Structure 1
Amino acid sequence: MRFIAVLLALGLLWVQAQTWFGQRSAARVAELRTQLQQQEQANAQAREAQTRARAELKDLREGLEMVEEKARSELGMVKPDEIYVKLK
């Protein structure tokens, strides 16, 4: 009976040691959670920057077409290789 009690006590000590000092210790878990929060914030900032960059690229692509269309209709712009024909 005494042997079983000693064995259980050693098992309990081993479990406690793993909980406080092991690879999955409470301190390590807290550290990993902090790192996870920091990485999630960095990912969110990167997503926002990517969204802004995509919107800017879209505006540049579509914006030039819109500027060219207005220049053609309002200012009569003609490209060097084009022939302008006006129909009434």
Structure 2
Amino acid sequence: MRVITGILLIFLVMLQYRLWFGKNSVPDYLALEDEIARQQADNNKLIRRNKLLYADTDDLKSGVEAIEERARNELGMIKENETFVRIITQKPDKG
């Protein structure tokens, strides 16, 4: 009877070792859960960015107003017979 108990105890120790320190152990599982959470957060950021880009391309495809706005903001273009005015404010002197 002691031999069987000893063998079962050895098996229990071996299984516990694999559970805590072996391949695919509990720490590996927890590390993978953290990695999955980080990847899901990154994916959500990319999904939001893609939605903004899709909305921007839809605006560019559908109307002239979006193209005109981009030309004004990014390229500094103005329409014919339009006057460009830039207002520059002075920063107060620190003294």
- CA displacement 1:1-37 (0-9 Å, x = unmatched): 1111111001100111011101221211111010000
Query: What TM-score, normalized by structure 1, do the two folds share?
Result: 0.69
- Quote the residue 2:64 is aligned against: 64
Q: Using the alignment, how far apart are the partners of 1:12 and 1:29 within structure 2? A: 21
Q: Cα RMSD between the aligned structures? A: 1.9
8 Å CA contact 2:19–2:26 kept in 1: the answer is yes
Is 1:6 the counterpart of 2:11? The answer is no
Query: What TM-score, normalized by structure 2, do the two folds share?
Result: 0.65
- Name structure 1 gaps, 5 residues minimum: 68-88
- Quote the residue 2:15 is aligned against: 15
Shift of 1:64: 2.3
- Quote the residue 1:73 is aligned against: none
- CA displacement 1:30-63 (0-9 Å, x = unmatched): 1101000000001101111111100000001112
The aligned length equals: 67
Q: Using the alignment, how far apart are the partners of 1:18 and 1:48 within structure 2? A: 41
8 Å CA contact 2:20–2:27 kept in 1: the answer is yes
Higher CA-based Rg: 1
CA 45–23 in structure 1, closer or farther in 2 if over 3 Å, else same: same
